[in-house]
Structure 1
Amino acid sequence: MHHPMQVELVNDYSGQALRVSIDRSVAMLDAPDLDALIEHLALLRAKMHPEIPQQVSRQHKYVIEIDPCWYTEKNAIFEGAVMFFRHTGFNWTGFAVPKESLIKLIDALSQHVDECQETYSMPN
């Protein structure tokens, strides 16, 4: 079976690169090129239909980042916060979260912390 597009990680003289082949055309992308492409593709995907589902699918196998780096700051434009999470494949992703959603998020995370403490606490 012929696959018109192939993508592979290769080592060239300047380091690692992504080799993208479509039929007889080839492009070599270094890490900054790939970051720019991923960001551009995400912006285009955001404009496409069908849109990304509002709910998490229980059947999909998501890429999960364990203990990601994160950063948060107050937003000067609206009442809420901006949260950034670092993903080793997708780069830093930012989310502007309004106050009402922050309260819900804090409550949900607090519930997870409480459940962890109950599950993993050592008996006296």
Structure 2
Amino acid sequence: MLSSSAKLKAINKATNKCTSIRGEMPKDLFRWHPTCHHNKVMEYASQFVALEERPSHMALLYVWGHSYEFEDEGNLDLLDRLGETIAVKQSIWYATNAEIVSYVQALKRLRFSADCRITRT
């Protein structure tokens, strides 16, 4: 049986072919569903950029695919079009799976005082 830390290390490199159009940050890192395959990214990119920014509810546009598919399908231009679409919003963070896992774990470790200041443990 794998330890929790071993499972988290595996998650950093794992992919999942189920899709989720909610654009939410993963609540369960072991059941992390992408927004879409790269072939459908332009259907979601504009919606993602249009989302209202709320610090209490971060959104995630999680695109999956394989590098060889771009050449096989002749659609490498999708990456350029995606970049042009989401570049208009300065607050978007471009991150790897490992960076998002680390960030989510750090958020869970935050502790606040009664007056909402972050406290050190």
Calculate the TM-score normalised by the size of structure 1. 0.24
Q: Which has the higher contact order (CA 8 A, sep 6+)?
A: 2
Larger proportion of helix: 2
Calculate the TM-score normalised by the size of structure 2. 0.25
Larger proportion of strand: 1
